[in-house]
Copies of this chain bind each other. A is one copy, B any other.
């Protein structure tokens, strides 16, 4: 039974139509899965360079990770308890020649071949910061003051098919992660939330910071969401894209000692590290720019062009 596809609002449907017609997005046949045309990538590249430079100038080290995560890490984080509806797991074939032939025959008919697939040791990446924690834990005790990691614009997967062009199943999440003493981490999040507002307003976007919660699953999830809000653990940067309802284009998350204790990340004095992360959604920011300034980046205001496209 295929998962229900969320419909688009009339504004969202119109934006998607224009993006496809202009060749900025390329339809794949699956809602929320698109290719990118040249002008779209030109803006996204500019954003990527700018965020990378901002992070580097403030002491970030660069680590990069693929779009798959060891299943064991996903299991350890509790992601499947909180977001079972969003996770993607990877299956593959490990059967005989006759099973392979039967599978290929069904696939050629676009019939069901799932029974020949079995679960592998990897899943899709649910959030770009996840592989950072075990990687940092491997390095041993943190230096005094902790660590600032730029995990770059990694591909992350969320199984939520939608006709809203801003709601992708697979997209670039540019994550910066701070790992260290509790006060250092909290201050870093506050500072970067403010920097995020200034950055997006500097692009001419109507960006506003607000308290938020993650889309936790089910009845238990409502309680988790309320707790997250009460403890002020998640902020989002909201920007209008299509229609009046704004879309979250970045989030700033405080994890307390959740990842530190899960993966055994130790501060210089041996106590458990706190962590925070922030994620900029590349595709959503590019969409907000295109919706605000028009579909042709060459016709954007000079100030925005020089900020984003200057060093091409």
Residues of A within 8 A of B (CB): 1-3, 26-30, 33-38, 41, 61-70, 72-75, 78, 80-81, 84-95, 97, 100-101, 103-104, 107-108, 110, 112-114, 116-122, 124, 131, 134-135, 138, 155, 157, 159, 161, 169-171, 217-220
Contact = CB atoms under 8 A, between A and B. Distances in A.
22 contacts: A1-B94, A26-B65, A29-B73, A33-B68, A34-B66, A35-B66, A37-B63, A38-B61, A38-B62, A41-B62, A66-B171, A67-B155, A68-B170, A78-B108, A80-B93, A80-B107, A81-B100, A87-B93, A88-B90, A90-B90, A97-B220, A100-B218
A92 B81 contact: no
Contacts of A219: 97
Taking chain A's interface residues, is the majority helix, strand, or loop, or is none over half, making it mixed?
A: mixed
Q: What is the copy number of this chain in the assembly?
A: 2
Contact of A84 (B73, B88, B104): B104
A35 B135 contact: yes
A104 B221 CA distance: 13
Contact of A92 (B69, B89, B218): B89
Nearest to A100: B84
Contacts of A84: 93, 95, 100, 103-104, 116
Nearest to A79: B107
A165 to B, nearest CB: 14
A29 B64 contact: no
A65 B35 contact: yes
Contacts of A30: 70, 121-122
3 closest A-B pairs by beta carbon, nearest first, are A81-B104, A114-B119, A92-B159
A118 B119 CA distance: 11
A95 B80 CA distance: 12
Contacts of A29: 70, 72-73, 134
B92 A90 contact: no
Given A93-B85, A113-B80, A131 B72 contact: no
A125 to B, nearest CB: 9
Contacts of A159: 92-93, 120
Given A35-B63, A62-B38, A90-B89, A3 B120 contact: yes
Contacts of A112: 119
A145 B297 CA distance: 29
Contacts of A157: 68, 90
**Chain B CB within 10 Å, residue with most, of A66, A100, A110, A119:** A66
Contact of A119 (B26, B37, B117): B117
Given A2-B121, A85-B94, A88-B120, 9 more contacts: A1-B118, A30-B121, A33-B66, A33-B68, A35-B65, A75-B107, A90-B157, A93-B159, A114-B119
Contacts of A220: 97
A62 B34 CA distance: 14
A63 B155 CA distance: 16
A63 B100 contact: no
